[in-house]
Structures are given as structure tokens and as C-alpha cells.
């Protein structure tokens, strides 16, 4: 039995969709979530910069005494996962591999669409992961720079969001994709819009459920799970505005957020120094 918490981080609040699934899958575990609200969004940033941010946050969480870290950010996973796994002494789980695996299993015609941030698309990591599992599969990537601001805006289910999804989906429909990876942890929040645009004939794959399953398997494999008879706790850290995080975070987590603690960016930088 290992009572240490699990650390989860994201550029902002999208990773709360992953935390939600982890809380449901592992109700006996404790979690600490860190959202880098001061420096979001990560998607338009250069990969080297995202890699540095991820290293700072993961090092900070390791210093906080976590037993496993989840990079619940597709951009950070794409840019930094191998470097984090080499640098840190605790296991690090990302959100790309579980999705790639699920997409390869789901596709019938071996044409897989990807909707993601600019950084994730630029990295090419999804294509590498899918091709490692099925060298004959085709990946059609589409960068969606408008979606994250709309999802975090005042009207995530509004017509502007639906119009953006229709625009991005057109390329995947034209390519004949029968499976689409929602390659950003924000996207599950508007899954009904994606499903409406693509229809039931297209399988949507997103990271939360698959990643939670990988976290559970990693804990079991390494023998670092907590006592299953207890109820776990969770706490929140943010480099941004704690009140904004608390208010908007409930939209993503779909559970209570009583408070969020503020962390200075300088503290993250110092942890990685």
C-alpha cells in the first residue's frame, strides 16, 4: 500500500476531464491537480517551450511527494513525455498512447482522424504511435486553434463552437475517417457537438477513460496502489486565478471544487532548476 497522492497537470482546466475519470476509476486514491493557468494555452507555443513548462510542473509535483504523474495535456504529452520519463524518478503517464491504441482497435477502414491543438499536430506523435501499432493505418491530422478558447468561453455549446467543429470536421469527412481522436482534454466537454457533426457512424476516441485505465494498470503493476477500503481526497493548484479556476473548473470536473491554491510560476521554475 502506498498512500502518496497521484499528481495530474494540464495547461489549464481541460485535464480535469481526465481527473474526473481517475476519480471514478480509482475512488480510493488521493490526487493533486495543477493547472498552469498563467501560461495557457500551450497549443500555439513552440514545442521546446511546452517541454520546459512540462518539466517545471512535473518536477514541482515530484517535490510535492506524488507517486505517479499524469500529463493530462495532449500538447505537453506530445512535446515532453519521453523527456519527463527519463528525468523523473516516479512513473509518468501521458494521454496520447491510450488514445492511439483505442483508435487502432476501433477503426474499420484504417483511416483515423485527429482533431488537436497546433502543437500536438506539429509534433507528429499521434501518427508515430498509430503507425507503430498498424503501419498501414492512415492518420489525418487537423489543428483546431479556435476550439479551446470557445470551450473555455461563456457559451461552449453555442453556434460559434458548432460552426468551428463543422469546419474542422469537413477535412476528416472528406478523407473518409471512420474513427476520430479528440486529441485535446478540453474536447470531451463538447462531445455532443462532435457526435452530432460526425454522426453515429464515426467512433470518437478521447483520452480520459483510456488514460484512467492506464493509470490503474500502472499502479497495480508497480504495487503502489492505496488501500481500496478508503475514500480518496483531491486538491487543486493553479498558477492562474484561483477563483476563476474554482468557478470554471466545475464545468470540466463535474464535481465540487471548494478551493484552489495559488502557485507562483517562479516556484515551478525553481523546482526544475
Catalytic (active-site) positions? 73, 184
- Residues 177, 203, 15, 211: what is their CA dihedral angle, to the nearest 10 degrees? -110
Closest CA to 82 of 24, 125, 38, 30: 125
CA distances in angstroms from 208 to 17, 72, 169, 191, 220, listed in the order given: 6, 8, 21, 12, 19
Q: Which of 65, 94, 120, 56 is nearest to 270 (CA)?
A: 56
**Consecutive H or E run containing 50:** helix 47-63
> How far apart, in Å, are the Cα atoms of 192 and each of 22, 79, 103, 156, 187?
21, 29, 19, 11, 10
129-142: burial string, b at 16+ Cβ within 10 Å, e else: bbeeeeeebbbbbb
Closest CA to 115 of 44, 190, 187, 14: 187
Q: What is the 3-state secondary structure (H, E, C) of 12-47?
A: CCCCHHHHHHHHHHCCCCCEEEEECCCCCCCCCCCH
Q: Between 265-272 and 47-63, two packed helices, what is the crossing angle to 10 degrees?
A: 90
Written as nine digits, the cell of 227 is 488501500
Amino acid at each position: 500500500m502506498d498512500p502518496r497522492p497521484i499528481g495530474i497537470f494540464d495547461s489549464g482546466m481541460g485535464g480535469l476531464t481526465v481527473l474526473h475519470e481517475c476519480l471514478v476509476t480509482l475512488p480510493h486514491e488521493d490526487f493533486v491537480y495543477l493547472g498552469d493557468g498563467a501560461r495557457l494555452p500551450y497549443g500555439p507555443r513552440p514545442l521546446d517551450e511546452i517541454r520546459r513548462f512540462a518539466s517545471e510542473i512535473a518536477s514541482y509535483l515530484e517535490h510535492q511527494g506524488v507517486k505517479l504523474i499524469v500529463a493530462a495535456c495532449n500538447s505537453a504529452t506530445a512535446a515532453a513525455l519521453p523527456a519527463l520519463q527519463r528525468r523523473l524518478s516516479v512513473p509518468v503517464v501521458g494521454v496520447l498512447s491510450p488514445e492511439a491504441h483505442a483508435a487502432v482497435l476501433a477503426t474499420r477502414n484504417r483511416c483515423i482522424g485527429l482533431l488537436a491543438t497546433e502543437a500536438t499536430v506539429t509534433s507528429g506523435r499521434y501518427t508515430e504511435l498509430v503507425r507503430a501499432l498498424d503501419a498501414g493505418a492512415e492518420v489525418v491530422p487537423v489543428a483546431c486553434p479556435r476550439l479551446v478558447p470557445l470551450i473555455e468561453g461563456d457559451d461552449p455549446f453555442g453556434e460559434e463552437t458548432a460552426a468551428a467543429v463543422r469546419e474542422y470536421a469537413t477535412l476528416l469527412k472528406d478523407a473518409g475517417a471512420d474513427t476520430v481522436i479528440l486529441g485535446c482534454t478540453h474536447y470531451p466537454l463538447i462531445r455532443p457537438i462532435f457526435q452530432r457533426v460526425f454522426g453515429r457512424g464515426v467512433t470518437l476516441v478521447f483520452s480520459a477513460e483510456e488514460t484512467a485505465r492506464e493509470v490503474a494498470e500502472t499502479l497495480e503493476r508497480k504495487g503502489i496502489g492505496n488501500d481500496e477500503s478508503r475514500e480518496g481526497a483531491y486538491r487543486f493548484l493553479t498558477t492562474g486565478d484561483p477563483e476563476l479556476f474554482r468557478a470554471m473548473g466545475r464545468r470540466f470536473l463535474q464535481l465540487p471544487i471548494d478551493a484552489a491554491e495559488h502557485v507562483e510560476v517562479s516556484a515551478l521554475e525553481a523546482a526544475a532548476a
